[in-house]
Structure 1
């Protein structure tokens, strides 16, 4: 179980070596935020796996979007994709993982957390103190603002989470040996237990690695690195900003939310896609947002 505050991330700081951070499933976070009337640059709680129990001391409104972790409010099941009124001294529990990996809890008005470098996102191990450098633990207390009670009962027309087992699409590096790409695409990879918010390590039949050295260059979330052991690493939100490993390609932005809804020990495959189709897929994903809310700039920001 891992719970941390996450928003859309820290944009425009990668040239200083600052990771973007932010919600791994940016789509679920954005939808949860808008359900309770928040901008997506206000943090929600990224809840990974079941087992959490949250106590609310004050009246508020919450929404849950993402993984189905068997949420119950005061012992009663509550659905994803709705704005729920939470009365004082209520308890929210997540009892059983049914689908997906990460659920996003947004609270009307947002949490009272001072931003770090322009963001309320937790960067695990960051050189600052407080909840934006470490996950939440038992006994931690967060304060939140007064809600707009008129939004209670609002719901989504369509859900955001794709928990299907369809392949993860990526833009392949055409300069890499084509036989390596074919082997990568044919293999069924297992997500390693050594994975975290910096990156998912994939275990399977080791790929041949290029013999020529690679000069370090800038990398982004979704970059698929090929280290010397031949086991690919998919970089995620908390990853470093530069890397010197050969790159197989980059997971498209549309599929990063689906990728984030997988956990270690699960299996997946990768499928190549062209740039035109990747852009079309992203447009369709933005249309999902339009089906629920008028789009705002924070939906489209890509933290780099």
Structure 2
């Protein structure tokens, strides 16, 4: 199955995306996290494209998506969600499974509370929506949220350093014999682009808006009862397994699976995740077999 690549204009943002699968297959919208891009799905997409249409955009400020510079575009999670909402409209995606990871979780869940009728199911892979999911590694970010001073902004900059990306975000809890350097070295290169760090520091500050929306996200779960699979790297240093288990408080039928993996579970466990998704969606949205 070939993966196709393209751009869609959404206002002043040119959204890059990768896509595979039949146009009449059930859609999975794949939303990446920090500090990566849609390339994080490079191993998963071929494993599911025989039965699903997979669409993976790069968020503004990430990957190959072209967005205006700081000062003319507000790099906030609301604006990221606006861009992806416009992107789904441009592709006429009016019903889809939402795959959320890391930053993709608050972006995707904004779409869900805006348009609950469009969400057929949710797969949360280390995509947090509960306070229980936070580890104790969030100290500098939380301090910056409370007091957005220049000094506290600088204290968050080590989160963007190459060694942090390589060894902490990707390396923690991952089998080094299974962890390809391709993902983290590309992310490091993206972070080295002009203004990339400042954009990410803007988003780090605005992450507090996501926490403020957790009650709204949880209310959406209770009211609309989307089928949900939480598949989690149990060794994630940022988002704890308790964040996966917490989904069952509002969605008692949620399926929870913990993998022997880190934050970027797809880097080492794409086949296991694909198997879990197939079984989950067969139950959640019915037969997904299509002719291609």
TM-score interval (norm. to shorter): under 0.3
- Structure that is richer in helix per residue: 2
Under a length normalisation based on structure 1, what TM-score does the superposition of the two structures give?
0.26
The structure with more radius of gyration? 1
Under a length normalisation based on structure 2, what TM-score does the superposition of the two structures give?
0.27
- Structure that is richer in strand per residue: 1
